[in-house]
Amino acid sequence: MLSINLIRSLKLYKNKIWSLDFSQGILATGSTDRKIKLVSVKDDDFTLIDVLDETAHKKAIRSVAWRPHTSLLAAGSFDSTVSIWAREESAGRTFEMDLLAIIEGHENEVKGVAWSSDGYYLATCSRDKSVWIWETDENGEEYECISVLQEHSQDVKHVTWHPSEALLASSSYDDTVRIWKDYDDDWECVAVLNGHEGTVWSSDFDKTEGMLRLCSGSDDSTVRVWKYMGDDEDGQQEWVCEAILPDVHKRQVYSVTWGFNGLIASVGADGVLAIYEEMGGEWKVLAKHTLCHGVYEINVVKWLQLNGKTILATGGDDGIVNFWSLESFGKDRSKNAD
Amino acid sequence: MSEFLNENPDILEENQLPTRKEDSAKDLLLGGFSNETTVKRRRLLLKIDHSLKSQVLQDIELLDKLLSIRTPPELTSDEDSLPEESEAESVTSQKNEEESELIDAQEIYDLIAHISDPEHPLSLGQLSVVNLEDIDVHDSGNQDEMAEVVIRITPTITHCSLATLIGLGIRVRLERSLPPRFRITILLKKGTHDSENQVNKQLNDKERVAAACENDQLLGVVSKMLVTCK
């Protein structure tokens, strides 16, 4: 077992943190209090650099996402809209973001927003049971809805894109994950992942090239790994549940993240952060940390790259973002343990 | 069978609801240091306030204790020290309570039994929608450990569309009153509702509950239900 060590703890809100995303050295967070906060992270320096205009949304910010390789941020809110924010170039050296667009379309609470790896598609999902795919231009100013996907029978809680392909996964209150694929600008559901016995709160793709796999976390307190097996004659994808990860969580699993290092991390209502490693085709718990946000629940976990190191960030009901590193107790011992 | 489980509940009077106040009140009233006058006085105060936590009652009790132990103090010297002493004591005892206050089913019951039913002019305790024996608490009393409360509610009719609203009222009440270490689970008692699983799922989905709490109309109804809480 390795140990999970707290690097830094940032108290950003009085209320719940629902979501966080990190890109180009800047952490964005969304909270119940409608404020999006931006924290610059450089070396050991953590500085709050901007608080975005809280009047843009009338209800909680549920999800935030940076457009890959840009300073464009999307935020989904319970007020049923999605806001797009861009860096104010004329602000010079200081970092300021302005509201660029408000996207309307969903009937009620937006629960997830996610950019495709090339940044041209934005996917949004809502309690209205639908997933919308928006196409945008280089500047991210115009948004055209190219598909409304309505196959889920209940709220859609979360959306995430494949790291390189035009493949989308959506997690739902109907206990399933659906995989969506682009056929000449027509998005179709190519697979339904059945198995969880409760709401699926989030999912994340394997980052290994040539491997098409997905992990998912659920209300049933389990984390599952799914694997793509091939296409059938009708163009449907066959996916199987490859593994149910070792039983760590005692309550709902709210967030999972699959790192470039091949490790999966999960968090949930029990305040536990767990890291799993695959060894010889079998998943083992590599490290576990309890009460990561005191007695509060953890809503989100993400792997991120900081100073060439891979670390984790978690956000909780206590309004705190914690940064964690994974370290061995002593190399020799961990070697012998194998 | 279970269809009529709680359709026509026997309405309980407020003073018939389970409570631990009576027992402790008797203890208090029959305490060894009492004489007739002090008992009378405290009984009167209890009638007014109905709560043993009343500061006045506690102060009077303390005063009585001191008076029974000591010979009447000399007013010149002790008048100053007496209130100070009692103040200091109440401050420390409050602090200790905060540090390790074990919360039990009766305490949870007291928090939710007085919530008004959304369609009757009665409380959830009176309608037996909430019952003391259907509350499970796992709490070490340690503020730094997680604790759990599971409440099984019994709606008055099996198709009662207001079951979700009642559950939401209970959840909001507990989230506002309990320390953050508590994980709250609210379930419909087995066999009491046609769409048990759907209601249960909804009541325990933190995201839906959070969104509901930002819905002004819904929050207005819930607030009305909570007005009768003590």
A234-293: per-residue pLDDT in tens? 889 999 999 999 999 999 999 999 999 999 999 999 999 999 999 999 999 999 999 999
In chain A, what residues touch B179 (CB-CB under 8 Å)?
A: 295
| pLDDT tens by residue, A18-54 | 999 999 999 999 999 999 999 999 888 899 999 999 9
Q: How many domains does chain A have?
A: 1
Is residue A333 in some structural domain?
A: yes
Chain B residue closest in CA terms to A127:
B208
The mean pLDDT of A11-24, rounded to a whole number, is 96
**CA neighbours closer than 13 Å in the CB half-sphere of residue A162:** 17
Q: Write out the two tokens for B60.
A: 């009077």
Walk across the sheet containing A26-31 and list its strands: A17-23, A26-31, A36-42, A45-51
- Is pLDDT at B210 greater than 80 in this prediction? yes
**Model confidence at A330: pLDDT above 70:** no
- Interface contact B210-A111, CB threshold 8 A: no
Which position has the higher pLDDT, A210 or A1? A210
ipTM: 0.91
User: What is the predicted pLDDT for the residue at A56?
Assistant: 96
> What are the pLDDT digits (tens) for A184-220?
878 999 999 999 999 999 999 999 999 999 999 999 9
B210 in contact with chain A, both atoms CB, cutoff 8 A: yes
Q: Cβ of B208 under 8 Å from any chain A Cβ? A: yes
Question: Residues B170, B112: contact at Cβ < 8 Å?
Answer: yes
- The model's pLDDT over A83-126, given as tens digits with 9 standing for 90+, comes to 999 998 776 777 899 999 999 999 999 999 999 999 999 999 99
Residue type, B222: V
Q: Cβ contacts of residue B121 below 8 Å, gap of 6+?
A: none
Cβ neighbours of A219 in B, within 8 Å: 205
**Which CATH architecture fits B105-226?**
2-Layer Sandwich (3.30)
**pLDDT value for A61:** 98
DSSP-derived pairing of the beta strands A156-161 and A143-149: unpaired
- Top residue of B140, B176, B197, B214 to mutate, by most chain A CBs within 10 Å, is B214
Q: Does B207 touch chain A (CB under 8 A)?
A: yes
B207/A157 touch (CB, cutoff 8 Å), yes or no: yes
Residues B66-83 pLDDT 10s: 555 544 444 443 334 344
What is the distance in angstroms between the Cα of A257 and the nearest Cα belonging to chain B?
Answer: 20
Q: How confident is the model at residue B2 (pLDDT cuts 50, 70, 90)?
A: very low
| C-alpha distances out from residue A242 to A87, A216, B50, B77, Å | 42, 12, 61, 81
Q: Do the domain assignments include residue A61?
A: no
- Would A263 be classed as within a structural domain? yes
Please, where in chain B does CATH 3.30.300.130 lie? 105-226
Give residue B90's pLDDT band: very low, low, confident or very high (50, 70, 90): very low
Give the C-alpha separation, A76 to A65, whole Å: 9
pLDDT class of B41 with cuts at 50, 70, 90: low
Flag if B211 and A294 touch (Cβ within 8 Å).
no
Q: How far is A219 from chain B (nearest CA, A)?
A: 9
How far is A300 from A268, CA to CA, in rounded Å? 8
Residue at token pair 């290092």: A261
What residue numbers bound the domain in which A331 lies? 1-11+245-338
Q: Is B26 on the interface with A (CB under 8 A)?
A: no
This prediction has a pTM of 0.84
Q: Do B144 and A296 touch (CB under 8 A)?
A: no
For residues B78-105, give the mean pLDDT.
53
- Residue A130 within a domain: no
Tokens (6 digits) for A316: 């909780």
In a domain, A32, yes or no: no
Q: Which of A17, A57, A62, A78 to mutate to test the interface with B (most CBs of B within 10 A)?
A: A78
Distance, CA of A221 to CA of A214 (rounded, Å): 17
Could you read off the pLDDT of B14-33 as tens digits, one per residue?
Answer: 788 888 755 555 455 544 44
The pLDDT assigned to A338 comes to: 36
Residue A33, judged by CB atoms within 10 A of its CB (0-12, 13-18, 19+), counts as middle
Write out pLDDT tens, residues A132-179. 999 999 999 999 999 999 999 999 999 999 999 999 999 999 999 999
A171 or B56: which carries more pLDDT confidence?
Answer: A171
Instruction: Please choose, from the candidates A128, A203, A202, A212, the residue with its C-alpha nearest in 3D space to the C-alpha of residue A165.
Output: A212
Out of B146, B205, B208, whose CB is closest to A271? B146
Cβ pair B211:A291 closer than 8 A: no
Residues of B in contact with A15 (CB under 8 A): none
Query: What whole-number percentage of chain B has pLDDT above 90?
Result: 46
CA distances from A233 to A174, A188, A236, A238 (A): 27, 15, 7, 11
